[in-house]
Structure 1
Amino acid sequence: MNEDQRCDAPQASSASATSLTALNGLRAVRRRANRRRAAVLAALGVLAIALCYVDLSYGRTFYEPSAVFDVLAGRDVPGVGFIIGELRLPRVIVGALAGIAFGMAGASFQLMLRNTMASPDIIGITSGANLTAVVGIIVLHWSGTRLSLLAMAGGLATAAAVSWLSWKGTLAPTRLLLMGIGLAAALNAATSWVLIRGDQWDMQAASRWLTGSLASSDWTDVPQLAVIVVLTGAPLMLLVRQIDVLRLGDAAARELGVRVDLVQATVIVLAVILLSSATAASGPIAFVSFLSGPIAAWLSGPSRPALATAGLVGASIVLLSDIVAQHVPPVQLPVGVITGIIGGPALIALMVRMSRKQVFA
């Protein structure tokens, strides 16, 4: 070994040791992030189950835990089975499923478009589902599966229109947000026009539905909503890694092997189906899809997209708001009134925070 080789050997050893230290540090960070994400998911799961129990137990009559668990186990409990099994349980299940759907759909759009404001209820997709659903209620007198399919068609058509209007060789997030806000205003005006053309009873039913309510939930809503949440939520979870790469920008994602246009189209279709099916079942419960993603990201930390966490956050928001709507005001309110009260100030706070970042960055 010559003199140069003897001098290079300690340097190579030092570089190798530095690389190994950095790799171990990265692994430790990932382990902490994974533990935090798992702990958050477990805590939210426990919270959602606790809220389900409270929503089942409390009402005009309070039922002991043993009675609730007996009904859930399928036992015949006189005087309790009908109230819990036929009135309260469908409401709780529809609320939880709708919350999961709203949360995952909202977070999918926000992550894909790299903009917290790009929630389906901000960019007009909810407005499209609302318009077609109101037409179904007032003009066609539809309900159940047919109304769900009509709301899905309206949501998908609106998403296609917004995407087409904002297309500039690729999906431009800022342009899509502005086009969506404008289209939402037009769709909301059309919804109001359809409402005033209906008779008194249809107007009341449609207005109550537009507020976002779980009062009319029954067992016919549960199977189709559960199937749609599973069949669309699972593929979205499988796309988490590619959605994560999209946060780097379209050009960087393409260089890393992501088929950007295909992934974006798939996410849009799946998220709109989720959103529209939940909207058809419970009405457009305000701000759940907008709030779930940022809350989930704050709880999980700056790691992989927290779609599952956003779903559990959405379920918890809907269930908690339903409990408050039933028991806190002097009269029972639709759940959408409570989420609107929460979401309005949250939207203002988020916009103020974003504007300050732009000013002082």
Structure 2
Amino acid sequence: MRLALPGRPGRPALSLRWDPRTAAVCAALLLAAAATGVWTLTTGDFRIPVPDVLRVLAGDGNPAYAYIVEELRLPRLLTALLTGAALGLSGALFQSVARNPLGSPDVIGFTVGSATGALVALLVLGAGAASVAAGSVAGCAVTSAAVYLLAWRRGAAAFRLVLVGIGVSALLSSANAYLIAKASFTDAQSAQVWLTGSLNGRGWQHVTTMAAALAVLAPAALLLGRPLRMLEMGEDTASALGVRTERAKAGALVTGVGLTALATAVAGPVPFVALVAPQVARRLTRSPGPGLLPSAVLGALVLAVSDITAQRMLAPTQLPVGVLTGVVGGCYLVWVLARQWRAGLG
């Protein structure tokens, strides 16, 4: 089913595709995210019953409970959900442009470039938190521009983007290792924790950053859904259907870079969420196209579940969330490769 909003004669200004299965999957994922939120807000070293959490959220709760929920647990939960949504959405954009499941920002070097910018600001310039975030955004932007230009030859072909991105990622990983090796022990330790991807100590300022990023960039990404769905049929076919292919790809890359850079600035280079969420979302919805909304919701769920698991698995020791997402992503990659190998033998 489709909903078309008025535009020029014969061409709607906006066309939205309604798929009942996709809607059901998104609803189920949102319910799972809500259950994860309840689990996160009630569980910890100090357990709080669900009715008391609801009273706090309604503005009429015990002051001690209110401090724990509103200052410690809720900002971290919202940061996880918003950051996961941004990573899932950016992964769907990049994989759609590359037409390759490996075309996620953490594989083709954009996340690593963002980390390089942050490390330069932190370890070389000795900058504060705001400058580290700016360095992260700048590093991601410079890396994406370099990958796009190096892959350009009468257009940026999908396979060249992936190959060039993997090479740039390897180079920047070596640069990051060098920066950490040359830093003092204290700085290197804090930088290494950040490079793993962590939500420890996240507050309302991080929630505000990610909420503003999604408010601006998520609508832009959704508007690109139709041209990206055409692009997945091939550039020649998309051009014949009236899609400006290079313009659509550039728009998707700019939007994805913004989402990736800000997510990395807030939580560090959390691995594999951008890789796994779009692919699992496609398998759940069985719908053609990039599947932007399901990918965002699934990314939010994956990061929120990974974070609460990292907090409670070895309590009172808290693991960085990147450790859990790395395990999940690694297992997923092994499963996909084994499945394709068996299918090839069959």
Residues 1:256 and 2:256 are matched in the alignment:
no
CA distance in 2, matches of 1:82, 1:312: 28
Residues 72-221 of structure 1: matches in 2 within 5 Å?
Answer: 72-221=57-206
**Pick from 214, 224, 234: which aligns with 2:219?**
234
The C-alpha deviation readout for 1:163-185, integer Å capped at 9, x for no partner, is 11111211111121111111111
* Partner residue in 1 for 2:323: 337
* Partner residue in 2 for 1:348: 334
CA distance in 2, matches of 1:276, 1:354: 32
Change (3 A) 1:165 1:354: farther
Deviation (angstroms), 1:220: 1.6
Deviation (angstroms), 1:356: 5.3
* Partner residue in 2 for 1:35: 20
SS of equivalent residue, structure 1 residue 350: helix
Residues 265-284 of structure 1: matches in 2 within 5 Å?
Answer: 265-284=250-269
Structure 2, gaps ≥5 residues long: 1-16
Amino acid across the alignment from 1:200: F
The C-alpha deviation readout for 1:280-300, integer Å capped at 9, x for no partner, is 101111100000000110111
Q: Bigger shift: 304-313 or 95-104?
A: 304-313
CA distance in 2, matches of 1:270, 1:360: 39
**What's the TM-score, normalizing by structure 2?**
0.91
Asked whether the equivalents of residues 33 and 301 of structure 1 are also in contact (C-alpha less than 8 Å), the reply is no
Residues 1:67 and 2:84 are matched in the alignment:
no
**What's the TM-score, normalizing by structure 1?**
0.87
**Pick from 36, 43, 51: which aligns with 2:36?**
51
Question: Number of aligned pairs?
Answer: 329
Q: Bigger shift: 217-226 or 243-252?
A: 217-226
The C-alpha deviation readout for 1:84-115, integer Å capped at 9, x for no partner, is 11111111111111100000000111112111
Amino acid across the alignment from 2:74: L
Amino acid across the alignment from 1:305: P
* Partner residue in 2 for 1:27: none
CA distance in 2, matches of 1:143, 1:214: 18
Asked whether the equivalents of residues 229 and 288 of structure 2 are also in contact (C-alpha less than 8 Å), the reply is no
Deviation (angstroms), 1:345: 2.0
Q: Bigger shift: 272-281 or 136-145?
A: 136-145
Asked whether the equivalents of residues 279 and 285 of structure 1 are also in contact (C-alpha less than 8 Å), the reply is yes
The C-alpha deviation readout for 1:214-243, integer Å capped at 9, x for no partner, is 112111211121101110111101110111
* Partner residue in 2 for 1:18: none
CA distance in 2, matches of 1:227, 1:124: 24
Amino acid across the alignment from 1:57: T
CA distance in 1, matches of 2:129, 2:59: 26
* Partner residue in 2 for 1:15: none
CA distance in 1, matches of 2:310, 2:117: 27
SS of equivalent residue, structure 2 residue 288: coil
SS of equivalent residue, structure 1 residue 152: helix
The C-alpha deviation readout for 1:125-172, integer Å capped at 9, x for no partner, is 111001111122222333444322221111111111111111121111
Deviation (angstroms), 1:341: 0.9
Amino acid across the alignment from 2:199: L
Structure 1, gaps ≥5 residues long: 1-31
Q: Bigger shift: 65-74 or 95-104?
A: 65-74
Larger CA Rg, structure 1 vs 2 = 1
* Partner residue in 1 for 2:283: 298
RMSD between aligned residues? 1.7
SS of equivalent residue, structure 1 residue 221: helix
SS of equivalent residue, structure 1 residue 75: coil
Change (3 A) 1:117 1:355: farther
The C-alpha deviation readout for 1:28-76, integer Å capped at 9, x for no partner, is xxxx971111111111111111111111110001101122112222335
SS of equivalent residue, structure 1 residue 79: helix
CA distance in 1, matches of 2:228, 2:129: 33
Deviation (angstroms), 1:354: 4.0
